[in-house]
Amino acid sequence: MQQNRIRQQDVEQLLKLSLLSQPGYLQLLEKKLSRLLACKPAGTTLCKSYHDVLLFIYVYAPGKKIKTLAEEALLQVKEQVASVMKSARYNDQLSLSGSGIAGSMLTCQFSLPITEWLLKKFPGSIHMHSASGDAVAGGVILHQLFPRVEYYYTTQGKMTLQKRIESVTAKHRSLPQLVNAFRHSIANESTREILFDCLQVFTSWKLDDPVFNRSFISGVSLPVFYHKKIIKQVDLAAVLTRPLPQKILLSSQQSNHLLDVAKASLAFYSRETEPITLASVRQVKLFACRRGLSIALYGIKPGRRLSLESYIGYMVFKNNIPVAYGGGWIFADRCKIGLNIYPPFRKGESALLFAEVLRLYQRLYGVQRFVVKPYQFGKDNKEGLKSAAFWFYYKLGFRPQDKAIAALAAAEWESGKRSGIELLKKFTGSNLELSLKPMLQKDVDPEHISRMITRMILQKFKGDRMLALETCSSLLRNQLQLKDASPYEPHFSELSLLISLVPGIDKWTIAEKRKLLQLIKAKAHSDDAYIGQIKKCEKLLASIYEVLQK
C-alpha cells in the first residue's frame, strides 16, 4: 500500500541522502523526493522541518532534476499551509506562525524603520497585532503624538496601551496611523525609533507575496552551481590569496531588490541589523564568488553611521537564496566580524562561506586583523555553546587573544576530546583573532578609545558634553584652519573628541593635517571613503596607539 503521510524518519532520511556524495546517491535522492511528492507531512511541526530540508536540497542541489523536484515539493508545502490557514484549525495556524513559510503569518516586534518599510511594501498584508508596553509610559508618548485635547483616551482612566491606541485610531488602520503620528510629531529620527520601541508594538505580516516568504525568496539571478559534493573543510590561507571577487554591476531596481530581500530575510527570523535596517540603497554592492556563492554588502545611510568604526553589513546568497548574514565593524586595518547562518543551511559549506566573506573584506577594505567577540561563540549565547562555535573559528585559524586561554584551547585541541560546556564557557573570556600580517601592533579596540574619550570628558570638562564638544570642535577648526565645519556634522564634532586625545597636532606638518581634514570629509561622504582614508592617517593612528599604551 502506498504511503500517503510523510513521517519524521522520511525527513531524516531525506536530509541524510542530501549530504551524501557516494556513487548512486543521486538516484536514491531523486527516488525519495519523487515518492514524497505523492505524500503530505503528518502535522504542521513535521511540515516545518520537511520544508527546511527541502530548502537545503534546493540550495545545495547536485543537479537540475533534484532542484526541480525540491521546488515542486516546496510548492506542495505552500498549498498545505494555505489549506491550514483557510481552515478553523487554530492550533495548527499557531504552530505555523513565525515559520516564515509561504502563506503563513509572522508576528514580531519590529523597529520603526522596518515597520514603515512593511507598510509601504506590503500595505494589504500588515496590521497591528498588539502593543504590550507599559500603559502609563505609553500614554505619555501617545499624548505627545496626538492633539493634546485628545488627552482623555491617551492619558485618562485605566486602559491597556493597546486599548488606548485603538481608541485614537480608525479600525483596521491603527498601525499606519500610529506610524504617521510618530513621523509627523517627532522630528528626530533616532528619538522616534526609541519611543516606538517603548510601545512594544507587535506587527502581523501575512506572507502572501509570491516572493517575499522564506520558501521562495531570492536575490539577483546569477548562474546556478550544482553540488556533486559538499565541502566541509577549507584552506583559508589559500582562499585569501585569491583576488577580489567579481563585482556585479547592479541596476537601481536590483539594488532596491537586494535591500528588500535582506530586510525580509532577517524579518522571517525576527532579526534586524543596523546596516540593513538603516541602509543606504546607494551603498548596496554584490560580488560573485565560487560555487554559487554571492555576497551583498550594505552600508548605513548618512547621519546614522557609527562615530569611530564603519559598520558594513553583509548577506550571503547560495544559488541566489539568502543563507547567512553578518557584519564587520572596520577601524583602520581591524575588523570585528560575526557570522550567522540561517538554521536550514548549517549543514552546508559554512567554512567556505565564511572564508569568502573574509576574503571580500580583506580585498575590498584592506582588513589585516579580524576579531570575533565572545558572544559569537557562546558568551550569553546558549546556541553558540551548544554548537561549539568556538571550534568553527579555531579551525579557520582564529586564536584567543588572551595567552592563558590560548594555551588552554591549544591543549584541548591536541587532546582531540569533545569539549564540555564548562570549558567552552571559559573560552568566552577572550576575543578570537585572526592576524593576516605578521608583526601587527597590538590590537586597538575602538571600545577602548570610546572609554578613554568618556574619561577625558569627565576629568577635563566635569561631564559637560556640550562644553566638551564646543571646545574640541573649536580647537580642531583652528588647527585645520577650517572656517565652517557644518557640512561635515555630526562627524566633525564627534571626531574632534577623538583627535583631542592626541597631543601636539599644532606641530604636525601641513600634509599630515590635510590627511586629517580629508578623513573628516570622507566620514561625512561614505563609509567606504572613510575606511580608505583612515589608513592614510599613519600619524593619527600611531598617536592613538601611543595614548592607549599610557
In this structure, what C-alpha cell is assigned to residue 6?
A: 510523510
Nearest to 201 by CA among 182, 188, 214, 186: 182
Q: Is 310 helix (H, G, I), strand (E, B) or coil?
A: strand
pLDDT confidence band for 20 (50 / 70 / 90): confident
Q: Can you tell me the distance from the alpha carbon of 388 to that of 382, in angstroms, rounded to the nearest whole number?
A: 10
Q: Decide if pLDDT at 353 tops 90.
A: yes
At 332, the amino acid letter reads: A
Tell me the three state secondary structure of residue 500: coil
C-alpha cell at 511: 600634509
pLDDT confidence bin for 1, thresholds 50/70/90: very low
- Residue 77 is predicted with a pLDDT of 95
Q: Residue 325: pLDDT band by 50, 70, 90 thresholds? A: very high
CA atoms of 68 and 75, how far apart (whole Å): 11
**Lowest mean pLDDT segment, chosen from 111-120, 374-383, 453-462:** 374-383
Dihedral-angle region of residue 24 (phi above 0 means left; psi in -120 to 50 means alpha; beta otherwise): left
In this prediction the pTM is: 0.95
- Residue pair 400/427 in contact (Cβ under 8 Å)? The answer is yes
Query: SS3 for 353?
Result: helix
Q: Where do we find the cell 528626530?
A: 188
Write 2-8 long-range contacts (CB < 8 A, 24+). 2/38, 3/35, 3/39, 4/38, 4/39, 4/40, 5/39, 5/40, 5/41, 5/42, 6/36, 6/39, 6/40, 6/41, 6/42, 6/46, 6/50, 7/42, 7/46, 8/46, 8/49
For residue 475, the 8-state DSSP code is H
What does pLDDT average to over the chain? 94
Task: Reply yes or no on whether the pLDDT at 176 is more than 50.
Answer: yes
Domain extent listing, the chain: 5-87, 105-206, 217-368, 369-435, 446-549
Whether 440 has a pLDDT exceeding 80, the answer reads: no
Cβ partners under 8 Å of residue 259, min gap 6: 276, 279, 281, 284, 298
> pLDDT per residue over 80-109, tens digit each?
999 999 988 889 999 999 999 999 999 999
* pLDDT tens digits along 355-413: 999 999 999 999 999 999 999 999 999 989 999 999 999 999 999 999 999 999 999 99
Across the range 232-252, mean pLDDT stands at 96
Q: Quick one: pLDDT band at residue 437, thresholds 50, 70, 90?
A: confident
CB neighbour list of residue 20: distance below 8 Å, 6 or more residues apart: 28, 29
- Grid cell in block for residue 190: 533616532
pLDDT for 442 beyond 80 = no
- Candidates 467, 538, 488, 472; CA nearest to 509 is 538
- The stretch 517-537 carries a mean pLDDT of 94
Query: Per residue in 24-72, pLDDT tens?
Result: 889 999 999 999 998 888 889 999 999 999 999 999 999 999 999 999 9
All three cell numbers of 68? 526541480
Give the closest residue to 325 by CA, choosing from 244, 256, 393, 271. 271
Determine the pLDDT at residue 303. 87
Q: Which three cell numbers stand for residue 324?
A: 547567512
For position 2, what pLDDT does the model report?
46
8 Å CB contact between 464 and 405: no
How far apart CA 405 and CA 421 sit, in angstroms, is: 15
Query: Which residue bears the cell 520537511?
Result: 50
pLDDT digits (tens, 9 = 90+) for 179-198: 999 999 999 999 999 999 99
* pLDDT reading at 8 higher than 80: yes
Which pLDDT does position 444 carry in this prediction? Answer: 79
Provide the grid cell at 101: 513559510
pLDDT band at 337 (very low <50, low <70, confident <90, very high): very high
In DSSP notation, 132-196 reads: -S-HHHHHHHHHHHS-GGGHHHHHSSS--HHHHHHHHS-TT-HHHHHHHHHHHH---HHHHHHHH
- Residue 502 to residue 512: CA distance in whole angstroms: 13
**Gyration radius of the chain's alpha carbons:** 26
CA distance 354 to 174: 42
Q: How confident is the model at residue 476 (pLDDT cuts 50, 70, 90)?
A: very high
The percent of residues in the chain predicted with pLDDT above 70, rounded, is: 99
3-state DSSP helix/strand/coil percent for the chain, to nearest 5? Answer: 55, 15, 35
Q: Is the pLDDT of residue 352 over 50?
A: yes
Mean pLDDT within 246-255: 98
**Start-end of H helices in 241-388:** 252-267, 274-277, 350-365, 382-386
pLDDT band with cut points at 50, 70 and 90 for residue 3 = low
Question: What per-residue confidence (pLDDT) applies to 430?
Answer: 95
- Which residues are within 8 A (CB) of 6 and not within 5 positions of it... i.e. 6 or more apart? 36, 39, 40, 41, 42, 46, 50
